[in-house]
Amino acid sequence: MGILKAIRVHGKGSGDEVNLNIQGERVCGSGRFSNVYSADLIEPEERKVAIKNSWEPKTAAAKSQLFPEIDVLSQIPPHPNIVTLLYHFTRRIDKQVIHCLVLDYFPDDVQKLREKGVKFDALDAQLYSYQLFSAVRQLFICKIIHLDIKPSNLVINHVEGLLKLADFGNAVHFGTIGSSSYQVTRYYRPPELLFGSTVLTPAIDVWSAACVTYDFITARPLFKGRNSEDQVKMIVEVLGYPSGEEVKAMAASRPRVRRTTARGLAKVKMSCIKFILHSCSYGFPQRHSRAVCE
């Protein structure tokens, strides 16, 4: 990649243009509108970094999702459990605009560890859950909603026991009105979105984080629906059918599934069950309290 001009994001000289000397890029992952490389930053500092390249899709709706990621990450002060945007720059390849985010590097994500057969013991699960909710609390302070908390968006250094929340491509500020209820990966999507609400609140992130906590403990998703309808059914089987007041508070429609009594969770320590069910509740106040308090 060589020497490039970029904008420094945090610390002394933030907002200034600097020269980056980047070498040894290696592909780490790819998605619909982006790919991620690991690389060696030689100047202005020596460190290993991750570089996320996001290109502008042709649809106007998708375009609106690009620059906000830089904007959002620039507004989050460095935090031990949130990936840090160090620099950003733009380049063109074959008339295609590429937005490049230089981030701190972590060797794995939770999903990759799962695919390698790595399971967390009770201490690991508690440690990583604490770090995840610490990140959610910081986002609440910054008035930001991540909107896609899931194992593949949690980068991790398992040797050192460090976890960071990453990939803010879907993140929004408080007060944003969603154009669709189709937000958040299905297994981690809260009931209000599944019931049709387009109101975006920090309670969404709390639900997703609690589902991931269950995943930390059991190495499997809490709700693994085949489709959205099946996802609703599984949630109602665990939590019971929501009351009229709960549906109204969610600004949603009543779910079209059979009314049933909550069966709760099994094969998990009682203290963990209480924490997860308190965070995975229909009631917004309970979930909001998890966003405010670690």
CATH number, domain with residue 72: 3.30.200.20
Last residue of a domain, one of 41, 76, 104: 104
The parent domain of residue 70 ranges over: 2-104
- Domain termination site, one of 69, 104, 139: 104
Say whether both 157 and 278 belong to one domain: yes
- Do 123 and 191 have their domain in common? yes
Domain count, the chain: 2
Last residue of a domain, one of 58, 79, 104: 104
At residue 154's C-alpha, the angle toward residues 153 and 155, to 5°, is 110
Residue 30 has pLDDT above 70, yes or no: yes
90 shares its domain with 169: no
Residue 65 binned pLDDT confidence (cut-offs 50, 70, 90): very low
224 and 78 co-located in one domain: no
- Tell whether 121 and 267 lie within a shared domain: yes
Decide if 252 contacts 195 (C-beta within 8 A).
yes
Same structural domain for residues 202 and 128? yes
Residues labelled as active-site residues: 148
> For residue 92, what pLDDT is reported?
86
Reported pTM: 0.89
Q: Are residues 86 and 114 in the same domain?
A: no
SS (H, E, C) the chain: CEEEEEEECCCCCCCCEEEEEEEEEEEEEECCCEEEEEEEEEECCCEEEEEEEEECCCCHHHHCCCHHHHHHHHCCCCECCECCEEEEEEEEECCEEEEEEEEECCCEEHHHHHHCCCCCCHHHHHHHHHHHHHHHHHHHHCCEECCCCCHHHEEEECCCCEEEECCCCCCEECCCECCCCCCCCHHHCCHHHHCCCCECCCHHHHHHHHHHHHHHHHCCCCCCCCCHHHHHHHHHHHHCCCCHHHHHHCCCCCCCCCCCCCCCCCCCCHHHHHHHHHHCCCCHHHHHHHHHCC
Residue 95 has what pLDDT?
A: 79
pLDDT confidence bin for 60, thresholds 50/70/90: very low
Residues 145 and 26 grouped into a single domain: no
For the segment 210-220, what is each residue's pLDDT rounded down to a tens digit? Answer: 999 999 999 99
pLDDT in tens, 78-135: 999 999 999 999 988 887 888 999 999 999 999 999 999 999 999 999 999 999 999 9
- Both 165 and 73 in one domain: the answer is no
* CATH classification of the domain holding 179: 1.10.510.10
What confidence score (pLDDT) does residue 139 get? 97
- Residues 118, 205 share a domain: yes
Query: Do 99 and 114 fall into the same domain?
Result: no
Instruction: Using alpha carbons, list the distances in angstroms from residue 270 to 115, 130, 253.
Output: 28, 17, 32
Q: Are residues 16 and 159 in the same domain?
A: no
Q: What is the mean pLDDT of residues 247-262?
A: 67
